[in-house]
Structure 1
Amino acid sequence: MSADTGARPTLAVFVSSHGFGHASRSCAVLEHLCDLEPELQIELFTRIPQWFFASLGQHLHFHELDCDLGLVQTDAFEVDYEATLSGLADRLPFQPDLIQNLAQGVSALGCQAVLCDIAPLGLAVAKAARLPSILVENFTWDWIYSGLAQQAPVLENYATLLQPHFAGADIHIQTEPVCLPAENAHRLGPIARTFRMSVSETRDALSVASTDPLVFITMGGTHIGFPFLEQLKDRFPEIRFAVSGASETVETDHSLTLLPVRGPLHHPDLVRAADLVIGKAG
């Protein structure tokens, strides 16, 4: 890791790659920070594809890093407990050499603070580098693991390992909907990226009239099949459906518009243009 940051204000950012929700929230936060501080340099550590953060432009230095396992899932809804436990056993507790190397790396990059969207590795790195840490979350993995311990009791051990990392953040920001309120946290409303197109412009791009009912179906960045598409066409011909992640290219099939995950339309614009959104919230 190397970058010529000079005297620019520089922020290390560790983002969970469990779906696109954490990346979307982080992107919204970082876009606003760049508006407030035009000289900001962002050193981003994640396995979310770099294209997702294209709006950050020249502010961004991207470092591909598997910084958060979270849960291994077979699709958007089902947890693979065996693979999750195997992955956690390989990662936790964090290896001291890994933490030290990353701490030295963010220090060498000139980072003055570390922002984490539920990636506990970043919090451990901040502590080792003696940098202020900021945690942004509406849930943390210790809470998730404790809730799933009935299905896999050993998850409680990993919750215990991770809890001090989350509790030790210097600044703790919780965004609605909050799963487990923390007394010392700053509470904010939902955080989302800004719109780029009007409702009418988005509907025009989809060839959907302003009077047509539009349903947007999305599972974010998590792979899932869509076995119900033919039923949507047959049973609800009067309703237009836009389905994200259902195709590699934009395709229109009667009342269906199938969209790739990396598509030409901004996700928040699709949400705003729809009359109903069906999706996996987290």
Structure 2
Amino acid sequence: MIHLAYFITPHGFGHAARATAVMLACLQKRRDLWFEVYTTVPQWFFDDSRLTNYTIHPLACDIGLVQINSLQEDLPATLRALESFYPISEPVVVKLSEEAKEKEIKAILCDISPLGISVAKRIHVPSVLIENFTWDWIYEGYLSEEPGFIPFIEYLKELYAQCSFHVQAIPFCKPEPCHLIVDPISRPIYTSREAIRTSLEIPQNAPVVLITMGGIESNRFPVEMLQKMPDTYFIVPGGASFASKQKNLILLPHRSGYYHTDLMNACDAVIGKLGYSTLAEACWTGVPYGYIPRLKFRESPPLARFVREEMGGIEIPEDLFWEESLLESVNQLLQLPRRKQKTNGADQIAGFLISSILQQQ
């Protein structure tokens, strides 16, 4: 077995979804790969994505942003966390480097944790940064509110610059000199639209909308208003502690047994927080995307531009998401055609890794 390490930021599930897509694509090409995954994302997330050939190592490998909820950041708490984490502890790097040597790690992939880059440099193996933004760029967007980010921005820029290979995933936020630009990276579809609808007892020809907050519990959402569109079915992951069906509403627990990309593919539209993995999976399935922007999050404008120009989606302001006027947006979304992406960035990265880094392994 050829062992690779993957350091994944714990900020939400989006980065883990992207990393999982890359690992799955690599394993399609080379079954002799084994991934050592460093993150605090729970193992069930990878298992539910049908990832094999991996070992998870629970590790907080960067900070990202401390969240109040799925749409709001806590900047003072983020700064406190950064102060306790950076500069990266030398004993941590030494310990991880020793582990990597014992496992004979041949390369380290990072999304978007710079800790993996430091470990790769220490043991003299290639590091691959995969990103559509880096944390230093995100923190720059908060400087008017929190100038305390300045030393962390400078420190992180220096760490990211030390990667051996730099991959940018469309839609990326800041064009940088890099080794590869790839299309949006999505996990694959496993189960047909028809099979998912049958399992959920949804008529095959009924309009269906997925409402998702990107891996965050969404049980505050006022689902009752959706019953005013009785001919349209709504699937709400995280909408209940136990799976239940209430007329045209299908409320699922946070971990429902239904794989997210399959659920999206079974629908005719998706509404949710604007984030990379939801965008990428909507691209891959071709489902029109009604996105809720995060007004203070610097990633939102580039993602929103891509949705409008390349996917034909629509913006749903956060205040309207909680009101009955959301139903007007639902009707608008359901009139849009599917526009399925032809190339998955995960396959492009897998080909690059195997031809450029692992060809002699």
- Do they superpose with TM above 0.5? yes
Query: Post-superposition shift, 1:49?
Result: 0.6
State the distance in 2 between where 1:281 and 1:205 align: 28
Tell me what 2:317 maps to: none
Say which of 215, 219, 243 aligns to 2:213: 219
Matched, 1:145 2:127: no
Query: Post-superposition shift, 1:224?
Result: 4.3
CA RMSD of aligned residues (A): 1.4
Matched, 1:26 2:19: yes
Tell me what 1:112 maps to: 106
Q: Aligned pair count?
A: 273
Task: Please give the secondary structure, in 2, of the residue aligned with 1:215.
Answer: strand
Task: Please give the secondary structure, in 2, of the residue aligned with 1:66.
Answer: coil
Superposition map of 1:75-224 within 5 A: 75-224=69-218
State the distance in 1 between where 2:216 and 2:147 align: 25
The one-letter code sitting in structure 2 at the alignment partner of 1:201 is: A
Tell me what 1:236 maps to: 229
Deviations 1:106-128 (A, max 9, x none): 11111111011101111111112
Unmatched runs of 5 consecutive residues or more in structure 2:
276-361
The one-letter code sitting in structure 2 at the alignment partner of 1:151 is: E
Tell me what 1:72 maps to: 66
Are the aligned partners of 1:75 and 1:224 in contact in 2 as well (CA < 8 Å)?
Answer: no
Task: Please give the secondary structure, in 1, of the residue aligned with 2:94.
Answer: helix
Aligned residues with identical type, % of pairs: 37
State the distance in 2 between where 1:27 and 1:258 align: 26
The one-letter code sitting in structure 1 at the alignment partner of 2:263 is: L
Say which of 41, 51, 59 aligns to 1:56: 51
Query: Post-superposition shift, 1:225?
Result: 4.1
Say which of 253, 262, 265 aligns to 2:258: 265
Task: Please give the secondary structure, in 2, of the residue aligned with 1:43.
Answer: strand
Are the aligned partners of 2:239 and 2:253 in contact in 1 as well (CA < 8 Å)?
Answer: yes
Tell me what 1:17 maps to: 10
TM-score (norm 1): 0.92
Query: Post-superposition shift, 1:38?
Result: 0.9
Are the aligned partners of 1:176 and 1:190 in contact in 2 as well (CA < 8 Å)?
Answer: yes
TM-score (norm 2): 0.73
Unmatched runs of 5 consecutive residues or more in structure 1:
1-7
State the distance in 2 between where 1:199 and 1:224 align: 24
